[in-house]
Each structure stands twice: as C-alpha cells, then as structure tokens.
C-alpha cells in the first residue's frame, strides 16, 4: 500500500476513534475513567501541544532558543496569574458567561457592540490559524507520501477530499451535542485523548531522535558541534523583545483564545481541578518543549535547507529510515491539526450566532412582542452555517497565503490579532472607569494596526512600493518598519497594535461617563466579593412561571425547558405553578440558562421583552431597576459580612428602642435565647433578662431602663463565663441608638495587675538602687585594681627593658672593641656580622619597648612651639648617609612654618616614615615636604618604592604586618608603622596613605599650625670637623653592671683612652678623695641602685670645681630623664651604645676641651 493511502487510512481511523470517544465517553465503567481534574488539566495543554508540532521546531530551527517564550508565558499564567484564573472562573459562574465575547461584553454594560466586535476580531484573527491546520494536513500527507520538498504538487484530489472529510466531520459529528448548553463531557474527553496522543507521540519522536536515530546521543552531539555555525539554535542569541513578545502571547492565549477560554473557564467545575492544572499543565508543556531542541537540531543537520522545517517531527524519522516511527509521527500530527480545526471553529460558530446573528433576529421581535417565534431549530441552523462559512474561508485561505509563509509566522499573526482583547479584558478586571466606548475604540484601533502591519504584507507582492518605500513614499509608515523600528514582524505588530489599543481604550473611556449599567457591572467584576446569586424578593417580576418556561423553550425546546425548571424548583424548594408569578430566583435561573445558549446580552434582551415593557426607555428602566436591586442586596450582604467580622458586638435599636439590627458577635457575647434574637425585641426585655440571670448585679430594676438613654459606658459581668462586657451607646440622628459591646476582661485584668505592680514598684526601685550602688562600688574597686595593674605593668616593662638592654649593651661594646683590634683581618668580617646582628636585635627590642610605652600611656606629650625646618634639618642629618649608601636621593623641602606639638614624638614619627621609605625603595628617591591646609600643615613623605596594594592598606598599621614583596627587600618585624599610628593617636594627628603598586607611596601627617611667634632660628651648624684623636683622653666610667663596664673599658682602651671604672657612689667618693687628677669626660649610667648618674656627675663636678663634659649612658627612654639631663648640660646616649655615636661624642668633647 502506498504512503498516500496509509496516510488517508490513519486520518479516517483517527476521526472514527474520536467520534466514538465523543459519543461513548460517559458509558465507560468508572474504574476505567481518568479522574476529571486530570482530564481538565490535560485539555488545557491542547493549544500548547499543537504549537509543539506546527511552530516550535520551525521557530527554533530558524531563531534559536526563543521558542520557549510561549511556554514560559503559559506557565507564568498558570502560576503567577492563578488568582486571575480563579476570579474569571468565579465571574463566569455567577454571570452565566460561556465565551470570551460574552465575558468582555457583560463587563461593559452587557454591550452587544463590544461582544460583536470581540467575536469579529477573534473570527478574522483565527481564520489564518485554522487555515494553517488545513495546510498542515495537506503537506503532512504529501511528505509522508515521500514528497519531501515544499514545491511538490499540492493540488492533489485525494488530499482535497481528505480536507473536505475533516470539515464534514466537524460540521455533522463534532459539533453535535445537547442544545441546552454548550458543555458536554464527550467533547472534553475527546480533546483530552487528542492532547494525550499528541504529547506521547512527540515525546516518542523526541526521545528516539535524541538517543538512537543518529547512532547515539554522543554522535548527534558531535555532528551538531561539527556543524554548529549552520545551526541557529546553537549560535543565535536571545532577543529580549522577541522573548517578551512570545511570553505575552503565551500568557494571553490561556484565556483569550475561544477554545482555551471554554476549556479553562467554562469547563472548570471546581473540585481542585484548577489547583491541579496550576502545575500539571505547565509540566506537560515543559516536558514536551525539552524535545523540541533535539528534533530541531537533527532536522537542521540531516535535511536539506529547502526541507519544510515545520515538519521536522516526521521528516527526521523518514530520513533515518524509520518507517514505523514516521507512521507514528504522522499519527501525532493528525490530532495536532484536527483539534485546532474542530475546537476553535465550533466555538467561533457559537460566538457568531450569539453575538452577531441573534441580536439581528431579536430586534424585529422587540417591536412585535405579540408574535413569539420558536428559535430551537433556528439557532442550530445558524451555528451550522456559520461553521461551514468559517471552515470554507479557512480552507480557501490556505491556498492563497499559507504557502508563502512559515507555520510559526502564520500562527503568530493569528495570536497578535487575539492579543487585541488584552486591554478591554484586563481593564474589565481592574479599572472602574472602563466603558464600552473605550473598549470599542481600543479594539478597532489595535485591529487596524494589526491589519496594516501584519496582514497586508502577506497579501501583496514583497517588492511592492508600500512595503519598500511606505505609503506615498513616507518611509516612517512602512508596514514592516513602522516609525523606523526594525524588529521581527510579530514583535512590531504586537507593540504598535497594543499601544494604539491601550491609548484609544483609555481615551474612549474618559471621553464620557460610564452608564449606570456599566457602573453596576464594573462593581460586580472588580469587587473582591462574589456577587449575590439571588436578588432580593421585595419586587415581584411581572411574568408567570409558565410564560418564563415558554420564553426559554423557544431556544432550548419544551422538553429541555420543563426538565430544567423542574430540577431547579426541586433543588431550591420552590413551590410555584405555571400560573403563579415567577420570583426573582426563577427569573435569574432563566437568565443564566439562556446565557449558556445565546450569551449574556441576548439573554438579558429576551427576558426584558418577555417581562412586559416594550418601549426602549421602559426596558432600560426595568434593567436598571433589577440591577439596582441586585446592588442593594450586594451592599446589604457586604455590610452584614463586615459587621460579622468585627470583634465587638453591635446592635441597633429603633426610636422605640426595639432591636432592628445586630451582628454575630452580639449573639456570642450576651448568649441571649432565640426568642430575644429577633427583629422588634424591646431593649427592656433584654435588660431584664440579663438582670434575672445575675449579670447586672444588685442594680435597681427600675433604673435599668434608663441605661438605653445613657451615653456613659457601663459594664456588666457575665455570671456564666466571668467575662466583663463594656457597653456604650450613641444616638442615631433619626432616632434610636447604636450600641457596642466590647469584651474588656483582659483589659480589666491587666489594670488590676498594673495596680499590683505599681504598689511593689517603689520597693523594687529601692532594691535596684541598692544593687546599683553596690555595683558602682565594685566597679570603682575594679577600676582601681586595673590602674594599679597598669602602673605595675609599666614599671615591669621599664625594669625589664633595662635588664634586657644591659647585656646587649655589653655585647655591642665587646664586639666593637674586637673589631677595632682585628684591623683588616678575616675575623673582622665575622665580628662585623655579629655586630650587625646585635644591632638588629637592638632595633627590635627598642621598637617593642616603644610600643609598650605608647600602649601603656607612659609617654605623655609635651607640647612645644617650634619651626618645622629645625626638625627637617635633623632628618637630613640622620638619613642622608643611609639613603646615599642605598643609591637613593633624599630631597627635603624646608618649611619655616611654626607648629605646636611634641617635638620629640613628632621627630620619631617622621623618622619612622622616612626610614620605611628608604628601606622599601630599590631606586629613585625619597621626597619630604609640607603643604599648607588652612590652619594645618600636611607633612608628606613620598617614595618611588614597591608600593602597597589597596587590599593591604587597612593592614599595614597592624603590629608585625609586612608585605610579601617587602620581606624580600628588607629585614624587620613590621613595627614601624604601628609605632607611627600610636604616636599619631597620642598627638591627636591624622595619618593618611596613598599608594600605587610598583610606583610608590605617599604617607602624610597633618599638624596644627601655631599662631605664636616663631622662635629664633638655630645658629648654622658649623662644618663637621674630622673626628679628633682620642689617645690620652681620660674617661671616668660609672656603671653598676660589671659586663657593661668591662665592655666599655675594652672599647675605650682600643681608642687609646685612659679609663677609670667605678661601680657605685662610694667608689666615686673614694676615687675623688684619693686621686687629685681631674677626668676629661664622665660617662655614667642612670640607674645605679639607690643613686643615679645625674647625681654622680653633679658630685664629681662639685668636687673638682670644674664643669667636666659628661654623658648619661642609660636604657631609660623617658622624656623626664632626658629633659633633666639637658637642663644640667649632660648629653644622653641610649643603651645599647652605638660605638660610632659614642666616638663622635667623645671627639666633640675633646675638641671642646682643646678650645678652652
């Protein structure tokens, strides 16, 4: 059998199977039936699964991964938009809405024009989509018959007959159903079965493509990577505009496509159906969408470029030689096309009948109500001919346009047309001021732009001047590049049509006030409360039950009308004969029944005609009266509901003090018997009942009646529950009172507890005061102990520093002496290394001692006023030799600015900065200068060193913090900048740093400028003379440490000095008394047990009656000791002694002696 006849046979068998499902679905035993929530959820994926076949693969093959936008939009509508679905479903049930046109028209005052326009736009918009399905059947048969190219003969008679058969099946089989309503289970189950077949077949083809059709998934992936440049799915980026447009289209189709509105809203019967669909339907589409990718990739790499990308799902198995799989793919493509022919066509025919044709038939009847007409046969006939017209136009359209375009492009044209319903649909749910005029203006404007930008370009020659140059040569009005916007055709059409739609919708709605019926419907659609289904019965409709049945029977038949009314009356417990006047419940039921057949606007008109008034003004008045009654009932319901939710009890008494209104909490709080909970109960009866129950205590019954007139709150205690109820009354302007009852039990108990708390508060305050006093005393003691511990720590550090530096001083003296004696021998280098190591230890210990003194507050700043250049000159003297030795240039820019701070501490701070700059600078120079900053001066130190990374700037001032690069250049412990920070804190100065790695750093310290007069400039330092020889110099050394004393003797002896060593004051006195020789120089330690070096120098000078040059050799670094020594003209040398500094000082003394 040829492929053509196999294809025809598959289609015929499928349609026969569908027919059986439609007719016999409900006859299956319940154990074989899938639960209805799953059937409902599967049905909602009908449109999405058809897009999997005819659109997704083609779009993905040409435009990339953007195709997922449609499925994302559907998923977002079912998840984030779930409250909207619930609200629309609730409105549809309460208003008897059966179609999207009915929904939009009902919101805008049940407008015929709005419903008709929605129907017209939807019909015109979906014609291309239905034509697409006919073309899909045509081409799929052609491909399955081994005609793989799009250019094959498509006018085959057999294929045309198959299409005709599908149309006949739609008209005479699928469209049949009970005429009383357009909802029946057979149709739903048929859609569910078709959707299941589509999804299962697509998954099978997708899995086969991804796994074994091309050898293995690895081989498919390798082929795809080898041809990556030819596969847009793997190379094309995502356009945000395209993706957003597809998401909007996907979300909108859930409710705006007629078939989707019917399946989602009309077929929703509660019972958790929508809650299941919320996740199950998106999951089905997600699973299917995943396999679009391998099918699109496989089709691109295995098929020629001219092959139909819309049919990759069947072409790929054919190319792979899998005939059985190709037949199964063909079977999946049949329901994908036929479902989207049958369902939209049937529902469009219903909308056309209800919203376009019936209003035309009912208008003549409005002028001649005495001649009622039977429409039970007219309506099915109109629907059938409407269906024939829709299918005929779509069938013809496929030959005219569909061969010029991709299926995905054609589907998007239809989708953008339906999108024109978005503004009036959304406005119906959120905007009170939306009107029928605005809805009509907006849809007409949007539809016009859609025709201009999307439809006309498909109907004319692509080389037409309209497309290339624009109308009248106006390039800004080119349909496919409107206002110069270059975008995908569906993106441009969607944007501009929606923009025009929204603008005109808002303008039209604001151009006039809403009619009363529009305002009533707006409140029904937008309020959060469900509208009442039963109007109040105070107004009796002017129609009997028999007349109502006769009216309805003309549209659904006598038998169906009798059955429907009998079921309704039995369910509601209504006992009315045909001659009795119909109540509003029955009239409302009749309206809902007719709405399911002819739509809400037509149902309202039919009942208005049947109920009597024939003039247009009278009919409008009757409709407004009914809706006003509905609104009053709604307001009463809302008010009662709000009162029942209050925690307070509320009751209202009329001017005769009779009960007229109350809420649920009033009954709960007072627990009154039922005979007192009725309209008209006197206030006196309620009060006496409470008195007899004991709730009013021992009050005089004669005075209780006056409580109704009292405006002061009064309280009662309920004997049964112990609750305390506060009752307040307020007068109503027209007479009567409104009374509120509040349960204040908790407040009274809290007040009682508060009084008890106040009584004990004073004692608690006294106790807390005593506790606070004791805590303060303990805190004072703890603070005193801390201060004593700090003082002890300071003394310990001073003593420890002295003990540590004494042996270090002796070692330095010994090493220096040894170096002097060794001359230029090899051992001198070794001793030099030892001396350098001792010097490094000395630097570390001095730094640690400085930090400890700074942290313990042992250093107190002594503020003085001095010129900055005197400090900078000392920096030059101290660091020029070191910089020169490292091959660096030290530039110091002098400044005569006078500052006020501690000179010694500032000098040490700057010395540390300059020392660091020289230490970490490989080449270049170090620059020291100052800049005025208002009443302050900023002393800056620049270098061209290794720099500091920004990430380390926070850490460089921490103890022992060093950069890895810096450790390669110089030794040290990383204490210099820590000392700088501590000195700056003591002096209340600000230290800043800026640095660029590998370029250098800048450290600055900001110092306050003094307004005091500048001190006299220091005399110019005389030129440094060569060191005077020390041979024969008589030196008196006083030190209680024998090692330091011996080391000093060795060093001085090496220099040729005559040395006298003494270890105490008694030894000095003995020396002075026994030796008349006057020493040339005195070198004395400061700490000599109970004595100090200053006293020894003073004693010696006084004994010999001569101002002998002297130096204090000490480990004490306090400012007080230095100041005292300076006051007595005694030089200070810190331990450990630097031999060079000592020799320079002795040479200075020798020169001074020689000059005398």
Domains, the chain: 3-25+34-353+374-420 (1.20.1730.10), 428-531 (no CATH), 535-629 (no CATH), 644-743 (3.30.450.20), 750-845+1028-1156 (3.40.50.2300), 859-1008 (3.30.565.10)
User: Is residue 181's pLDDT more than 60?
Assistant: no
Decide: helix, strand or coil at residue 1113. strand
The answer to whether 442 and 502 have CB atoms below 8 angstroms apart is yes
User: Is residue 423's pLDDT more than 50?
Assistant: yes
Beta-carbon contacts of residue 218 (< 8 Å; ≥ 6 apart): none
Write out the E strands in 720-844: 724-731, 737-743
Give the C-alpha separation, 414 to 253, whole Å. 11
The answer to whether 901 and 1007 have CB atoms below 8 angstroms apart is yes
Tens of pLDDT, residues 797-842: 555 555 566 666 666 566 666 666 666 665 655 666 566 556 556 6
Tens of pLDDT, residues 744-762: 888 888 888 888 888 788 7
pLDDT at position 706 is 62
pLDDT at position 92 is 84
pLDDT (mean) for 121-134: 88
pLDDT at position 733 is 75
The band of 629, judged by pLDDT with boundaries at 50, 70 and 90, is: very low
pLDDT at position 612 is 57
pLDDT (mean) for 769-780: 84
The band of 502, judged by pLDDT with boundaries at 50, 70 and 90, is: very high
Give the C-alpha separation, 422 to 249, whole Å. 10
Parallel, antiparallel, or unpaired: how do β-strands 737-743 and 724-731 relate? antiparallel
Q: How far is CA 977 from the centre of its chain?
A: 44
Cβ burial of 882 (10 Å; 0-12, 13-18, 19+) is middle
Beta-carbon contacts of residue 1073 (< 8 Å; ≥ 6 apart): none
Greater confidence (680 vs 517) lies with 517
Judged by average pLDDT, the poorest of 69-83, 251-265, 702-716, 1037-1051 is 702-716
Task: Tell which residue, 206, 251, 221, has the closest CA to residue 69.
Answer: 251
List the helix and strand counts (H, then E) for the chain: 46, 19
Segment of 342-346, 781-785, 821-825, 1002-1006 carrying the highest mean pLDDT? 1002-1006
pLDDT (mean) for 1041-1059: 84
Task: Tell which residue, 396, 393, 402, has the closest CA to residue 150.
Answer: 402
Greater confidence (638 vs 872) lies with 872
Cβ burial of 1028 (10 Å; 0-12, 13-18, 19+) is middle
pLDDT at position 1086 is 85
Beta-carbon contacts of residue 276 (< 8 Å; ≥ 6 apart): 37, 38, 40, 41
* Model pTM score: 0.53
User: Is residue 149's pLDDT more than 60?
Assistant: no
Give the C-alpha separation, 285 to 72, whole Å. 9
User: Is residue 245's pLDDT more than 80?
Assistant: yes
Segment of 154-168, 606-620, 632-646, 649-663 carrying the highest mean pLDDT? 649-663
Cβ burial of 722 (10 Å; 0-12, 13-18, 19+) is exposed
The band of 508, judged by pLDDT with boundaries at 50, 70 and 90, is: very high
pLDDT at position 532 is 43
Judged by average pLDDT, the poorest of 173-177, 271-275, 990-994 is 173-177
pLDDT at position 800 is 58
Task: Tell which residue, 510, 87, 518, has the closest CA to residue 268.
Answer: 87
User: Is residue 588's pLDDT more than 60?
Assistant: yes
The band of 504, judged by pLDDT with boundaries at 50, 70 and 90, is: very high
Parallel, antiparallel, or unpaired: how do β-strands 1058-1062 and 1034-1038 relate? parallel
pLDDT at position 1018 is 47
pLDDT at position 320 is 80
The answer to whether 342 and 19 have CB atoms below 8 angstroms apart is no
* Percentage of the residues of the chain whose pLDDT score is greater than 90: 8
User: Is residue 1020's pLDDT more than 50?
Assistant: no
User: Is residue 97's pLDDT more than 50?
Assistant: yes
Write out the E strands in 718-769: 724-731, 737-743
Segment of 368-372, 532-536, 579-583 carrying the highest mean pLDDT? 579-583
The band of 388, judged by pLDDT with boundaries at 50, 70 and 90, is: confident
Greater confidence (621 vs 545) lies with 545
User: Is residue 424's pLDDT more than 90?
Assistant: yes
pLDDT at position 964 is 58
pLDDT (mean) for 946-967: 73
pLDDT (mean) for 884-896: 87
Cβ burial of 511 (10 Å; 0-12, 13-18, 19+) is exposed
Half-sphere exposure of 580 (CA within 13 A, CB side): 9
Residues in the chain: 1156
Which segments of 212-269 does DSSP mark as H helices, in order?
217-226, 232-235, 240-256, 258-261
The rounded mean pLDDT for the chain is 78
Q: Report the sign of the C-alpha dihedral through residues 520, 526, 529, 534, in that order.
A: positive
Count CB atoms within 10 A of the CB of residue 745. Answer: 16
User: Is residue 701's pLDDT more than 70?
Assistant: no
pLDDT (mean) for 500-504: 94
Tens of pLDDT, residues 101-113: 888 988 888 888 8
The band of 506, judged by pLDDT with boundaries at 50, 70 and 90, is: very high
User: Is residue 1050's pLDDT more than 70?
Assistant: yes
Parallel, antiparallel, or unpaired: how do β-strands 936-943 and 1000-1008 relate? antiparallel
Q: Report the sign of the C-alpha dihedral through residues 707, 712, 713, 717, in that order.
A: negative
The answer to whether 594 and 561 have CB atoms below 8 angstroms apart is no
The band of 150, judged by pLDDT with boundaries at 50, 70 and 90, is: very low
Tens of pLDDT, residues 182-193: 345 677 888 888
The band of 845, judged by pLDDT with boundaries at 50, 70 and 90, is: low
Tens of pLDDT, residues 217-233: 777 777 767 676 667 66
Beta-carbon contacts of residue 243 (< 8 Å; ≥ 6 apart): 66, 69, 72
Q: Report phi then psi at 1005, rounded to 5.
A: -130, 130
pLDDT at position 537 is 38
User: Is residue 890's pLDDT more than 80?
Assistant: yes
The band of 151, judged by pLDDT with boundaries at 50, 70 and 90, is: very low
The band of 535, judged by pLDDT with boundaries at 50, 70 and 90, is: very low
pLDDT at position 682 is 82
pLDDT (mean) for 563-592: 70
Segment of 157-171, 468-482, 1016-1030, 1094-1108 carrying the highest mean pLDDT? 1094-1108
Greater confidence (624 vs 679) lies with 679
pLDDT at position 442 is 94
């Amino acid at each position: 059998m040829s492929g053509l006849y196999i294809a025809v046979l598959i289609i015929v068998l499928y349609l026969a199977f569908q027919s059986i499902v439609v007719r016999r679905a409900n006859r299956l035993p319940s154990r074989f039936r899938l639960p209805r929530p799953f059937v409902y959820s599967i049905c909602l994926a009908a449109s999405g699964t058809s897009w999997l076949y005819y659109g997704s693969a083609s779009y993905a093959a040409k435009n990339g991964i953007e195709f997922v936008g449609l499925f994302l939009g559907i998923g977002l509508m079912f998840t984030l938009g779930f409250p909207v679905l619930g609200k629309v479903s609730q409105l549809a049930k309460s208003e008897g809405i059966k179609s999207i046109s009915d929904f939009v028209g009902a919101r805008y005052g049940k407008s015929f024009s709005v419903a008709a326009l929605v129907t017209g736009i939807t019909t015109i918009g979906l014609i291309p989509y239905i034509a697409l399905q006919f073309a899909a059947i045509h081409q799929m048969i052609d491909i399955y018959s081994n005609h793989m190219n799009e250019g094959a003969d498509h006018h085959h008679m057999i294929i045309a007959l198959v299409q005709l058969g599908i149309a006949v099946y739609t008209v005479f089989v699928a469209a049949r159903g009970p005429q009383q309503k357009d909802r029946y289970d057979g149709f739903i189950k048929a859609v569910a079965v078709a959707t299941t077949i589509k999804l299962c077949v697509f998954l099978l083809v997708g899995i086969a493509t991804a796994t074994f059709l091309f050898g293995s998934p690895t081989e498919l992936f390798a082929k795809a990577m080898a041809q990556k440049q030819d596969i847009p799915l793997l190379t094309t980026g995502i356009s945000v505009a395209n993706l957003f447009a597809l998401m909007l289209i996907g979300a909108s189709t859930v409710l705006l496509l007629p078939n989707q509105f019917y399946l989602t809203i009309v077929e929703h019967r509660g019972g958790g159906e929508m809650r299941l669909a919320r996740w199950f339907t998106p999951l089905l589409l997600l699973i299917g969408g995943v396999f679009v990718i391998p099918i699109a990739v496989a089709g691109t790499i295995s098929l020629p470029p001219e092959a139909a990308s819309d049919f990759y799902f069947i072409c790929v198995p054919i190319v792979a030689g899998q005939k059985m799989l190709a037949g199964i793919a063909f079977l999946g493509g049949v329901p994908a096309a036929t479902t989207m022919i049958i369902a939209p066509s049937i529902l469009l025919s219903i909308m056309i009948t209800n919203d376009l044709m019936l209003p035309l038939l009912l208008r003549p009847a409005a002028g001649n109500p005495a001649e009622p007409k039977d429409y039970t046969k007219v309506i099915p006939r109109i629907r059938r001919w409407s269906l024939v017209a829709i299918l005929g136009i779509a069938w013809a359209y496929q030959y005219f346009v569909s061969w010029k375009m991709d299926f995905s492009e054609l589907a998007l044209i239809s989708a953008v047309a339906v999108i024109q319903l978005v503004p009036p649909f959304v406005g119906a749910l959120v905007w009170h001021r939306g009107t029928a005029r605005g809805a009509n203006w907006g849809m007409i404007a949007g539809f016009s732009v859609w025709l201009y930008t999307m439809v006309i370009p498909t109907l004319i020659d692509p080389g037409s001047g309209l497309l290339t140059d624009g109308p009248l040569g106006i390039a800004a009005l080119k349909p496919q590049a409107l206002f110069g916007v270059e975008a995908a055709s569906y993106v441009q059409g969607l944007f501009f049509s929606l923009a025009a739609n929204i603008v005109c919708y808002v303008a039209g709605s604001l151009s006039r006030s809403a009619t009363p019926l529009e305002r009533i419907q707006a409140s029904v659609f937008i309020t959060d409360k469900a509208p009442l289904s039963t109007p109040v019965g105070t107004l009796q409709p002017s129609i009997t039950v028999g007349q109502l049945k006769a009216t309805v029977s003309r549209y659904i038949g006598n038998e169906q009308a009798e059955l429907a009314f009998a079921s309704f009356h039995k369910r509601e417990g209504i006992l009315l004969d045909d001659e009795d006047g119909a109540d509003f419940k029955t009239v409302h039921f009749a309206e809902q029944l007719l709405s399911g057949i002819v739509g809400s606007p037509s149902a309202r008109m039919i009942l208005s005609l049947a109920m009597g008034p024939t003039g247009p003004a009278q009919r409008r008045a009757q409709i407004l009266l009914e809706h006003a009654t509905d609104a009053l009932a709604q307001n009463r319901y809302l008010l009662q509901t709000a009162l029942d939710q209050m925690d307070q009890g509320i009751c209202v008494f009329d001017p005769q003090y009779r009960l007229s209104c109350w809420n649920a909490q009033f009954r709960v709080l007072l627990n009154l018997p039922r005979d007192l909970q009725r309209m008209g109960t006197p206030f006196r009866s309620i009060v006496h009942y409470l008195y007899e129950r004991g709730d009013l205590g021992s009050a005089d019954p004669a005075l209780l009646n006056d409580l109704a007139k009292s405006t002061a709150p009064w309280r009662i205690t309920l004997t049964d529950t112990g609750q305390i109820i506060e009752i307040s009354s307020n007068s109503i302007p027209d007479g009567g009172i409104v009374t509120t009852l509040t349960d204040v039990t908790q407040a009274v108990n809290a007040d009682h507890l508060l009084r008890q708390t106040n009584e004990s508060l004073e004692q608690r305050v006294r106790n807390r005061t005593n506790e606070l006093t004791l805590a303060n005393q303990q805190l004072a003691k703890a603070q005193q102990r801390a201060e004593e511990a700090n003082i002890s720590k300071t003394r310990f550090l001073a003593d420890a520093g002295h003990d540590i530096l004494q042996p270090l001083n002796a070692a330095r003296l010994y090493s220096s002496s040894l170096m002097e004696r060794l001359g230029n021998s090899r051992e001198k280098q070794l001793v030099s290394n030892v001396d350098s190591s001792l010097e490094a230890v000395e630097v570390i210990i001095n730094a640690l001692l400085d930090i400890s003194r700074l942290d313990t507050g042992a250093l107190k700043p002594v503020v003085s006023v001095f010129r900055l250049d005197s400090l900078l000159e000392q920096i030059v003297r101290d660091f020029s030799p070191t910089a020169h030795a490292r091959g660096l240039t030290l530039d110091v820019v002098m400044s005569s600015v006078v500052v006020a701070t501690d000179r010694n501490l500032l000098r040490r701070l700057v010395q540390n900065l300059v020392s660091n700059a020289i230490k970490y600078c490989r080449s270049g120079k170090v620059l020291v200068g100052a800049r005025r900053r208002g009443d302050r001066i900023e002393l800056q130190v620049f270098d061209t060193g290794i720099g500091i990374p920004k990430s380390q700037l926070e850490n460089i001032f921490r103890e022992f913090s060093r950069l890895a690069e810096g450790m390669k250049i110089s030794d040290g412990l990383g204490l210099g900048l820590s000392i700088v920070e501590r000195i700056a804190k003591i002096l209340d100065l600000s230290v800043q740093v800026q640095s660029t790695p590998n370029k250098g750093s800048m450290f600055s310290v900001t110092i306050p400028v003094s307004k005091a007069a500048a001190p006299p400039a220091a005399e110019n330092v005389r030129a440094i003379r060569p060191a005077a020889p020390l041979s024969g110099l008589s030196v008196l050394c006083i030190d209680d440490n024998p090692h330091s004393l011996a080391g000093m003797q060795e060093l001085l002896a090496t220099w040729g000095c005559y040395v006298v060593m003494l270890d105490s004051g008694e030894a000095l006195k003995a020396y002075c008394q026994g030796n008349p020789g006057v020493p040339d120089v005195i070198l004395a330690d400061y700490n000599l047990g109970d004595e100090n070096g200053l006293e020894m120098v003073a004693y010696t000078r006084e004994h010999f009656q001569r101002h002998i040059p002297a130096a204090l050799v000490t480990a004490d670094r306090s400012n007080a000791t230095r100041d005292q020594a300076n006051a007595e003209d005694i030089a200070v040398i810190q331990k450990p002694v630097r031999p060079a500094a000592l020799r320079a000082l002795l040479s200075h003394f020798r020169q001074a002696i020689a000059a005398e």
